[in-house]
Amino acid sequence: MSKKLVFGHKSPDTDTICSAIVMAEMQKAKGEDVEAVRLGELNKETKYALEYLKVETPRLLEKVEEGQEVILVDHNEFQQSVDGIEAAKIITVVDHHRINNFATAEPLYYHAEPLGCTATILYKLCQIENIEVTPKMAGLMVSAIVSDTLLFKSPTCTNTDKEVATKLAEIAGLNIEEYGLNMLKAGTDLDDFTAEELISLDAKEVSKNDVKVVIAQVNTVSIEDVFKRQKELEEAINTKIEKDNIQLFVLAVTDILNSNSELLVLGNRSDVVEKQGKLENNRLFMPGVVSRKKQILPMIDKNLD
């Protein structure tokens, strides 16, 4: 049997990548042969973190063979996972998302908690299983928590995330505010991405009642700056809508400094978002909204009923 593979979701974010690497380290500490891999290109925020921490980028995985043993982190929904996942053998899941479109043929370990970040759950597992948290692992987990909670400002952030991040920053020798803001800012440098890349950097697909929805998100320090490219972004989104038969595409442009988002909404079911507020020029400003999981997705989900 080939070695076990651990990976997070497609359009990888910092939690997905860092948690996969940490989970592989945890398994190795227990004597298991596990390799962390990734399902897509790294964003600039994650690149910043890995370079700063001097950690190697995991290998790209296109698909898994039938029967391959896999560990999933930071996701469970099959449409967000690797191609071939239906025929793989999922042995463990560590995740902080809703459980949906997920089924296995055999029993498995499933660690789910409604915390702000997968890495926070991994830290708790290290404590339970008596696995030493090295400075490298701590740095990776801090990066993941900062990313998923937008430096503790997201409504997804819990006290546990904050407490764990504070402990981890100490182990890693990082100033969390300074390192965290630099890391988040590195992810807002969007200039050299094409419109096509921008709309797929951090995109999640969900379906309900036969409506296929994609919610993409980009972080910025200036919403207006991103919307200077509105026309180009709309062209890319409309091409994607045609190609993948998507009924609703939402691009959330999130201001990480002021904690607001402006949505760019296209597709023949944009009425779903209009129930929330009238679109102007395909746009809807949402004050205080930064979380896809806790704010944008539930709003869409409710309006799809």
234 touches Mg ion by CB under 5 A = no
Which residues fall within 8 angstroms of residue 219, CB to CB, at 6 or more apart?
A: 45, 150, 184, 187, 188, 254, 256
CB of 96 to Mg ion, least distance (A): 6
Shortest reach from residue 217's CB to Mg ion, in Å:
7
Kindly tell me which of 159 and 268 has the beta carbon lying closer to Mg ion.
159
**β-strand pairing of 34-38 with 109-112:** unpaired
* Nearest residue relative to Mg ion (C-beta): 15
Distance in Å, CB of 67 to Mg ion, minimum: 26
255 binds Mg ion (CB under 5 A): no
16 binds Mg ion, rule: CB under 5 A: yes
Residues 143-162 within binding reach of Mg ion (CB under 5 A): 148
Selected range binding Mg ion among 71-79, 159-167, 232-240, 246-254, rule: CB under 5 A = 71-79
Which CB sits closer to Mg ion, 204 or 269? 204
Least distance CB 159 / Mg ion (angstroms): 17
CB 147 → Mg ion: shortest distance, Å? 7
**β 69-73/260-266 pair status:** unpaired
| 101 vs 98: CA distance, rounded Å | 10
Of the residues 74, 77, 161, 234, which one makes contact with Mg ion according to CB under 5 A: 74
Beta carbon nearer to Mg ion, 81 or 118: 118
Residue 95 near Mg ion by CB under 5 A:
no
Q: Is the dihedral of CA 15, 16, 18, 21 positive or negative?
A: positive
Q: Is 77 in the site for Mg ion (CB under 5 A)?
A: no
The answer to whether residue 200 forms part of the interface with Mg ion (CB under 5 A) is no
Between 144 and 269, whose beta carbon lies closer to Mg ion? 144
Q: Which two tokens stand for residue 259?
A: 């904690």
Check if the beta carbon of residue 214 is closer than 8 Å to that of residue 252: no
Q: Which is it for strands 248-255 and 260-266: parallel, antiparallel or unpaired?
A: antiparallel
Say which residues have a Cβ less than 8 Å from residue 9's Cβ, sequence separation at least 6: 16, 39, 74, 75, 80, 81, 204
Smallest separation (angstroms) from Mg ion to the CB of 74 = 4
Q: How many CA within 13 A on the CB side of residue 240?
A: 25
DSSP string, 243-254: HHT-SEEEEEEE
Q: Which of residues 107-126 bind Mg ion (CB under 5 A)?
A: 118
In the complex with Mg ion, the residue whose CB is nearer, 164 or 269, is 164
261 binds Mg ion (CB under 5 A): no
Rounded to a whole number of angstroms, the distance between the first and last alpha carbons of the chain is: 45
What is d(CA 39, CA 28) in angstroms, rounded to the nearest whole number?
21
Residues that bind Mg ion (CB under 5 A): 13, 15-16, 74, 118, 148
